[in-house]
Amino acid sequence: MSSVRTNIQPNLLDYEETLTSFSWDNIAGELSGLPQGKGLNIAYEAIDRHSTGNLKDTVAFRFIRKNRVVDDFTYSMLQKQTSKFANVLKNLGIKKGERVFSLAGRIPELYITALGTLKTTAVFCPLFSVFGPEPVFQRMNKGEASVLVTTSALFEKKIKQLMEKLPSLRFIILSDAAGHLSGKVLSWSKLMEQASDEFIIPKTDPEDPALLHFTSGTTGMPKGALHVHKAVLTHYITGKFVLDFHPGDIFWCTADPGWVTGTSYGIIAPLVNGVTSIIDEEEFDAKRWYSILEEHKVNIWYTAPTAIRRLMRMDINVKETYDFKNLRVILSVGEPLHAEAVIWGEENFGFPILDNWWQTETGGIMIANYASVKVKPGSMGKPLPGVEAAIAKVNDKEITIISSPDKQGHLVLKKGFPSLFRAYLNDEERYNKCFLGEWYLTGDLAKKDADGYFWFIGRADDIIKTSGHMVGPFEVESTLMKHPFVSEAAVIGKPEPSIGELVKAFVVLKSGNEPNDEVKMNIMGFARKEMGPAVAPKEIEFVESIPKTRSGKILRRLLKARELGLPEGDISTLEQN
Ligand code: ATP
Ligand code: MG
């Protein structure tokens, strides 16, 4: 399956050739660096270097408000606004390395905060606006927030009650307050009014901390991953090679900046590459999304399997209803993208959806399908040039790289690419445990085929050991989803003394199907035929919905805890329906 469909030549034309010629030093040479050799700063690469040249009047961000009113910010406007905010922080006495948090929906102030903070060399940490007070407290406390930018409504609802418990919090800036509320609770517009729009970015070492991102909490308590300014090299080159940004492109990343995708690709990568980003303030809505793609002539669209699966379930004839002639590349991240979804993309848009793999810890895309490389549906693709990925056998203190193909093992990445996290906040021990020799252990299991494609097996924590077999839940879920009655499935291992663990599936049926024994037997029979009796689920439970994180990842640990009557653990990122 090839995904080249228009006359635009992909930036990454020859994968194999690029692998051999690639060097991170050359990539650094494609960026500008701060004037007078003052280092490397993400915000300078993203905005300032574009704001006086050809791109100054190009739209950097197009905000689509909930009521569909559009608010455009050109590169030069964004440059001034972010410089103003940098001066606000400077005037408040915020120093290098201090943490500036945001808690807001996808409003312009959030984006200006992110980039303005990076200009000052303070550290930006975005929080998801729907977090309740406890998860907000935990993250701000752990991250020792100095400043929080939020809205009046969120302040009233979530922050006021926390203020006493957060001694490091010096200022709260309200995006929509007309005047200051106190010496500590300040008005965005008042502060911005008084600040100059000229700001010279101070010396920034490429190793200076820039971003703090909390993980999704799929496998346990969310961890705070710290990234440095040098990560911009990965943002830039993945934007060029994977998202395939070309001058004039309109790009839409649907992720919220509260997750790493919404910052690395919802803010930084498109700006560094000088394209226009669409930012929709509203949450998922199939018809709204399709109409945005059409109306705003989106060329490149980066979304997640959870959204794609929801679109697939809708009864909409995409081809007949919409005109997507501008759309050139669709990408997905966050969870495995089932082969069916890749093929659905091909059928409805005329080209396959490009799955890619990465983590909060890696700061940017690591393994990907590319516009110019043959897609094998169900595979995550091949490593980014400049990144060495491998499958390994890992024992306590030893790591052995498995070179023969199709063998299941730990997915590991060789240290040395610029966007690898530099710390887990306040958890050095856990951080150290992620490394063995020159390798970073991702915590995921995968295999690599003879053509160099990587295939996701599962998270090491989710693997089911049944009758001497190692079963990845994703494989079972994918098979179940091929059954015509099944809409969604989640699979766990349930302790069963005779066989170790029993494969149990939670299944959501497509509407119109009765959850009865006959249907259950039918699905079980299908699974046995497809996967063999050792791997097929021995128990199926019909459910209305499957618990997921707000970023759409199946919370198998929660299903398991509930099944076993154990404490639910951290559920701060659980999506509440
Ligand atoms: P936590 O680390 O707190 O448990 P998390 O791992 O879900 O949460 P993220 O960093 O947001 O937090 O997610 C990265 C993980 O998501 C990867 O390690 C992998 O398990 C999964 N993932 C991301 N992209 C893909 C993909 N394309 N295919 C399969 N799995 C993916
Ligand atoms: Mg993780």
Taking CA atoms only, the protein residue closest to ligand 1 atom 1 is 217
Q: Is the CB of 572 under 6 A from ligand 1?
A: no
Q: Would you state the pLDDT for residue 467? A: 84
Query: At a CB cut-off of 8 Å and minimum separation 6, what does 270 contact?
Result: 239, 243, 245, 251, 253, 276, 277
Taking CA atoms only, the protein residue closest to ligand 1 atom 23 is 334
Q: Would you state the pLDDT for residue 5? A: 45
Taking CA atoms only, the protein residue closest to ligand 1 atom 28 is 336
Q: Phi-psi region for residue 287, left (φ > 0), alpha (ψ -120 to 50) or beta?
A: alpha
Q: Is the CB of 378 under 6 A from ligand 1?
A: no
For 25, phi then psi, to 5°, come to -65, -40
The Cα–Cα gap between 106 and 354 comes to 25
Per-residue model confidence as pLDDT tens digits over 22-32? 999 999 999 99
Nearest to 419 by CA among 367, 364, 360, 382: 364
State the amino acid at position 536 in one-letter form: A
Ligand 1 nearest-atom number relative to CA 549? 7
The Cα–Cα gap between 395 and 391 comes to 13
Q: Is the CB of 335 under 6 A from ligand 1?
A: yes
Please give the distance, rounded to the nearest whole angstrom, from the Cα atom of residue 92 to the centre of ligand 2.
35
Nearest to 309 by CA among 473, 478, 493: 478
Q: Is the CB of 206 under 6 A from ligand 1?
A: no
Q: Is the CB of 344 under 6 A from ligand 1?
A: no
Q: Is the CB of 363 under 6 A from ligand 1?
A: no
Taking CA atoms only, the protein residue closest to ligand 1 atom 13 is 359
Nearest to 228 by CA among 41, 63, 358: 41
Q: CA dihedral in degrees (70, 73, 74, 79; nearest 10)?
A: 180
First to last CA, the chain: 37
Taking CA atoms only, the protein residue closest to ligand 1 atom 17 is 359
Ligand 1 nearest-atom number relative to CA 220? 4
Rounded to the nearest 10 degrees, the angle between the axes of helix 473-480 and helix 517-531 is: 120
Q: Per this entry, what is the length of the chain?
A: 577
Q: Is the CB of 336 under 6 A from ligand 1?
A: yes
Question: Residue 258: how many CB atoms within 10 A of its CB?
Answer: 28
The Cα–Cα gap between 496 and 489 comes to 21
* Sign, CA torsion 571/572/574/577: positive
Please give the distance, rounded to the nearest whole angstrom, from the Cα atom of residue 193 to the centre of ligand 1.
41
3-state SS assignment for residue 60: strand
Q: Which bound ligand lies closest to the C-alpha atom of 216?
A: 1
Locus of tokens 């991250």: 143
Please give the distance, rounded to the nearest whole angstrom, from the Cα atom of residue 490 to the centre of ligand 1.
16
Q: Is the CB of 365 under 6 A from ligand 1?
A: no
Which residues does the chain have with pLDDT short of 70?
1-6, 577
| Ligand 2 is an ion; residues with CB less than 5 A from it | 215
Domains, in order of start, for the chain: 15-448 (3.40.50.12780), 464-546 (3.30.300.30)
Q: What is the per-residue burial (b if ≥16 Cβ within 10 Å, else e) of 353-377?
A: bbbbbbbbbbbbbbbbbbbbbebbb
Q: Would you state the pLDDT for residue 533? A: 87
What is the Cβ-side half-sphere exposure of residue 209, based on CA atoms within 13 angstroms?
A: 22
Burial of 513 (0-12, 13-18, 19+ CB in 10 A): middle
Q: Is the CB of 553 under 6 A from ligand 1?
A: yes
The Cα–Cα gap between 228 and 97 comes to 11
Nearest to 116 by CA among 49, 60, 51, 199: 199
The Cα–Cα gap between 172 and 333 comes to 33
Question: Residue 96: how many CB atoms within 10 A of its CB?
Answer: 14
Q: Is the CB of 472 under 6 A from ligand 1?
A: no
Task: List, in sequence order, the alpha helices (H) in 220-285.
Answer: 232-241, 260-263, 269-272
Please give the distance, rounded to the nearest whole angstrom, from the Cα atom of residue 359 to the centre of ligand 1.
5
Give the pair of three-digit tokens for residue 229: 């300014």
Per-residue model confidence as pLDDT tens digits over 530-577? 988 888 999 999 999 999 998 889 999 999 999 999 999 988 889 875
Residue 26 Cα distances to 204, 386, 419, angstroms: 20, 11, 16
The Cα–Cα gap between 383 and 396 comes to 26
Q: Would you state the pLDDT for residue 140? A: 97
Per-residue model confidence as pLDDT tens digits over 161-200? 999 999 999 999 999 999 999 999 999 999 999 999 999 9
Please give the distance, rounded to the nearest whole angstrom, from the Cα atom of residue 361 to the centre of ligand 2.
8
The Cα–Cα gap between 415 and 388 comes to 8
* Sign, CA torsion 216/219/224/230: negative
Locus of tokens 């991240």: 333
Locus of tokens 């793999």: 357
Pocket test for ligand 1, best of 128, 221, 263, 359 (most atoms within 8 A of CB): 359
Taking CA atoms only, the protein residue closest to ligand 1 atom 2 is 215
Please give the distance, rounded to the nearest whole angstrom, from the Cα atom of residue 330 to the centre of ligand 2.
24
Q: Would you state the pLDDT for residue 4? A: 42
Nearest to 472 by CA among 443, 507, 445, 506: 445
Helices (H) and strands (E) in the chain, counts: 19, 28
Q: Is the CB of 459 under 6 A from ligand 1?
A: yes
Ligand 1 nearest-atom number relative to CA 461? 4
Q: Would you state the pLDDT for residue 6? A: 57
Please give the distance, rounded to the nearest whole angstrom, from the Cα atom of residue 358 to the centre of ligand 1.
7
Residue 402 Cα distances to 375, 389, 395, 442, 566, angstroms: 24, 11, 13, 16, 36
Q: Is the CB of 444 under 6 A from ligand 1?
A: yes
State the amino acid at position 494 in one-letter form: K
What is the Cβ-side half-sphere exposure of residue 58, based on CA atoms within 13 angstroms?
A: 21
The Cα–Cα gap between 137 and 127 comes to 11
Ligand 1 nearest-atom number relative to CA 355? 27
